[in-house]
Amino acid sequence: MRHSTATGTVAALLTTLLLAAPASAATPHAVNAVWVSRSVNFTYSGFTSRYSCRGLKTAITHLLDRLGARDLKVEECPVPERLIRFPSVHVTMQVLVPASGGKLRSVVAAHWHGVRLFPSTELSADCDLMTEFRHRFLPLFAPRTVKMNATCVPHQHIVGNALSAEVLAPNATAGGRH
């Protein structure tokens, strides 16, 4: 009889744990974060693809939006339509970064979120843009993990290039992106 009581207790405990597990697994681990302003002047200097200023603006806007930038403004160079050797954009935005000591203003509950940047349905895996974006923009988001698989050969598009990162995203109740 003692054996069946112990078995019943263990079964009840396991049932309780199994019922509780999905709720805790579905809730992302909260991270304290803050929105910070960033400003970037970016000039594309790749060899694989050529961009007009408007085309570069579209690509950069798409990538920064995927990373969760808010209050995003991307200004193109004065010659928007023509392909030029070194197109440029000026970017102002707010990005979510982990909160650190000191005076913290407007702490936001956030969680780490995986984002695949390249390839995407909107952009080919342009190795030059992918590499320049990784070095110039990704650090502004304080990513936890960055994965890049790229073989860059000037003037050639290589299939299989990829870039992804884990960045902070606000929790649903923590205030929107825009």
Domain that holds residue 100: 31-170
In a domain, 124, yes or no: yes
Residue 12 domain flag: no
In a domain, residue 8? The reply is no
Residue 142's pLDDT is 95
Q: How many domains does the chain have?
A: 1
Across the 178 residues of the chain, what is the mean pLDDT of every consecutive 10-residue run? 45 36 51 95 87 92 96 88 86 95 79 88 71 95 90 64 92 60
Handedness of CA 93, 99, 104, 110 (dihedral sign): positive
Alpha helices in 2-152 (DSSP H): 2-26, 53-67, 127-136
